[in-house]
Amino acid sequence: MVITRSNARLIRFVVFALVLIGCGYLLTKGSSYEPPQVQQFKQHAGGASQIQQQQQQQQQQQQPQAAIPPTQQQQQQLQKPAAQQPPEQKPPPAQGEAAGAANAGTQSSGEIANLPYTPKNMGPLAKAFLGSDKKTPQYIPQKNIDPATYSSNDKVKAAFVGLARNQDLNGFLESIKIIEQRFNNKFHYDWVFLNEVEFSEEFKTTISKAVSGEAKFGLIPAEHWSYPEWIDQEKAALVREDMKDRKIIYGHSESYRHMCRFESGFFWRQDILKDYEYYWRVDPDVKLFCDIDYDVFKWMKDNDKQYSFTISLPEYKETIPTLWKTTKEFIDKNPKYLAQNNMMDWLSDDGGQTYNGCHFWSNFEIASLDFWRSEAYKQYFEYLDKAGGFFYERWGDAPVHSIAAALFLPREKIHFFEDIGYFHVPFNNCPVDPQVRSDRNCDCNPNDDFTWRGYSCTTKYYKVNNYKRQKNWEKFTG
Ligand SMILES: Nc1nc2c(ncn2[C@@H]2O[C@H](COP(=O)(O)OP(=O)(O)OP(=O)(O)O)[C@@H](O)[C@H]2O)c(=O)[nH]1
Ligand SMILES: [Mg+2]
């Protein structure tokens, strides 16, 4: 009996010791755990491109440096994009997010205290810090900014910009009608229209009557809508023929190429836009599904956002065979233009070696004109233009703008407007959170929403930025 009792004690001791050893082992393992995203970057670190190698060298010479290649520190930054922002007072949690805020993900409380927000607990929607003194951050009331008390002094220098042919009049009237109704009848921003030929009197008078701000009409100089002297026009024509045979979308079109080159390199240089800081690009026949009761231009400026989008997706690879190669050459020659904490991980799944095609769908853009006017972008455009891909391939302004924004801007300056319900044939952005649709008086069907579908790149945008996803997103992936 005595022997049995001491045996039992011995067994209990051994079990206890084993448990202690097990716990110790688990704790050690836990400290070396890395999220899959970091592991993915590590896998590719061995095959670093020339860009990455140059970056590495440069990084050793000067601090701080751009986000590729990912060093240990940069890998951490990629996990915590907002850490680059200056410390700000932490705002109260948004409606319905208080519970989420309590579970602050993987970040330590010290890190959270330094962030203006916790990405994991805030999607783009719960977003604004608009204290009038700029010291007391608060969530912007996205509804009910009273137009009666809204002063025009609050406006920023911004305008809608539409590139248009005279025959686009009716399409633009549709776009104007809905944008005025959902947004601009409260704020009265100007509308600027650009054309490579003179606008007809009918176009000008009809549009002027339809808008609530001032309507302006600009004639594009011939040198912004023609072949540069280094382009071999015969070669360009042969490419168009070939693309026509291969049924590549707009591959046959000469004017589409001038349009894409213009939107990439020249719209922001137009004299008529020189006094504006922000613009909202409008295409014909687009729709807005929801009320926008806050000043989106002012919101962009107050929150230091430079580029925004509503829909993103991969580009047709046939239209851009050498765009990425040319971009890499440019970066190799100009690594200084890469922003710290850039969004390379959204453009590339292998640390910058190849382009996954993800781009912001640029028929909608609310963005800073100064970004396109920056040295980085101007140089980048010149480099692309000299390479000839606008004519020898069919480079679109959407991938060109998107690559530039994702590489030359820190990620926190790029914004997804998940609350702007938007349609341009054939894709919809319809907020999938019923609360958002009700608050913003949306008239769209979330089953038509593109945001969370397999082909959308916006899912990846949430992933690489570690943002909280819209409520219900998982019901709209199919
Ligand atoms: N002035 C002018 N504007 C053009 C020309 N081609 C296109 N645009 C405008 O450029 C913008 C983009 O052209 P879209 O034809 O809408 O191109 P997209 O959005 O890629 O294609 P869609 O699916 O057809 O809408 C629109 O605002 C057009 O009105 C052109 O030759 N001259
Ligand atoms: Mg269009």
Taking 90 as the threshold, does the pLDDT of residue 100 lie above it?
A: no
Q: Single out the catalytic residue among 97, 180, 315, 365.
A: 365
User: Mean pLDDT, to the nearest integer, of 306-311?
Assistant: 98
Question: For the ranges 7-11, 285-289, 353-357, 370-374, which has the lowest average pLDDT?
Answer: 7-11
Instruction: Tell me what pLDDT residue 276 has.
Output: 98
Say what the alpha-carbon torsion angle 179, 183, 188, 193 is, to the nearest 10 degrees: -30
Asked if residue 423 lies in contact with residue 429, where contact means CB atoms within 8 angstroms, the answer is yes
Query: Which ligand 1 atom is at minimum distance from the Cα of 363?
Result: 19
Pocket test for ligand 1, best of 160, 161, 165 (most atoms within 8 A of CB): 165
Higher per-residue confidence, 247 vs 113: 247
Return phi, psi of residue 416, to 5°.
Answer: -100, 120
For residue 78, the CA-to-ligand 2 centroid distance in Å is 34
User: Which pTM was predicted?
Assistant: 0.76
Listed in sequence order, the residues at least 6 apart from 99 whose beta carbon sits closer than 8 Å to its beta carbon are none
Q: Among positive and negative, which fits the CA dihedral 61, 349, 402, 196? A: positive
For residue 447, the CA-to-ligand 2 centroid distance in Å is 22
**pLDDT (tens digit per residue) in 465-476:** 888 888 899 999
Higher per-residue confidence, 392 vs 89: 392
Q: pLDDT band at residue 290, thresholds of 50, 70 and 90?
A: very high
Residues with CB under 6 A from ligand 1: 162-165, 168, 195-196, 255, 259, 283-284, 363, 425
Question: For the ranges 66-80, 161-175, 267-281, 301-315, which has the lowest average pLDDT?
Answer: 66-80
Burial classification of residue 172, based on how many CB atoms lie within 10 Å of its CB (0-12 exposed, 13-18 middle, 19 or more buried): buried
Question: For the ranges 104-113, 170-179, 182-191, 344-353, which has the lowest average pLDDT?
Answer: 104-113
Instruction: Tell me what pLDDT residue 99 has.
Output: 24
Residues of the chain with pLDDT > 90, as a percent, come to 61
Pocket test for ligand 1, best of 160, 161, 163 (most atoms within 8 A of CB): 163
Domain layout of the chain by residue ranges: 125-150+157-471
Q: What does the alpha-carbon distance between residue 396 and residue 398 come to, in Å, rounded to a whole number? A: 5
For residue 173, the CA-to-ligand 2 centroid distance in Å is 14
Instruction: Tell me what pLDDT residue 31 has.
Output: 29
Q: What does the alpha-carbon distance between residue 451 and residue 469 come to, in Å, rounded to a whole number? A: 11
Taking 80 as the threshold, does the pLDDT of residue 149 lie above it?
A: no
Structure tokens at 463: 């992933």
Q: What does the alpha-carbon distance between residue 478 and residue 476 come to, in Å, rounded to a whole number? A: 6
For residue 163, the CA-to-ligand 2 centroid distance in Å is 10
Return phi, psi of residue 364, to 5°.
Answer: -115, 125
**pLDDT (tens digit per residue) in 47-88:** 333 334 444 444 333 332 233 333 333 333 322 222 222 222
Instruction: Tell me what pLDDT residue 348 has.
Output: 98
Q: Domain 125-150+157-471 adopts which CATH fold?
A: Spore Coat Polysaccharide Biosynthesis Protein SpsA; Chain A (3.90.550)
Q: Among positive and negative, which fits the CA dihedral 269, 272, 278, 282? A: negative
Q: pLDDT band at residue 298, thresholds of 50, 70 and 90?
A: confident
Q: What does the alpha-carbon distance between residue 463 and residue 365 come to, in Å, rounded to a whole number? A: 21
Strand bridging mode 307-309 / 215-219:
unpaired
Answer yes or no: 365 catalytic. Answer: yes
Q: What does the alpha-carbon distance between residue 9 and residue 367 come to, in Å, rounded to a whole number? A: 72
Q: pLDDT band at residue 302, thresholds of 50, 70 and 90?
A: confident
Q: Looking at ligand 1, which residue's alpha carbon is closest to its atom 3?
A: 164
Within 10 A of 200 (CB to CB), how many other CB atoms are there?
Answer: 13
Q: Looking at ligand 1, which residue's alpha carbon is closest to its atom 29?
A: 164
Taking 60 as the threshold, does the pLDDT of residue 98 lie above it?
A: no
CA 412, 415, 417: angle at the middle one, nearest 5? 155
Query: Which ligand 1 atom is at minimum distance from the Cα of 424?
Result: 25
Higher per-residue confidence, 222 vs 39: 222
Asked if residue 361 lies in contact with residue 319, where contact means CB atoms within 8 angstroms, the answer is no
Give the C-alpha distances (Å, rounded to integers) separating 258 from 363, 383, 451: 16, 17, 30
Instruction: Tell me what pLDDT residue 147 has.
Output: 53
Q: Looking at ligand 1, which residue's alpha carbon is closest to its atom 18?
A: 363
* 162 DSSP assignment: E
Which of the ligands is closest to the CA of residue 166?
A: 1
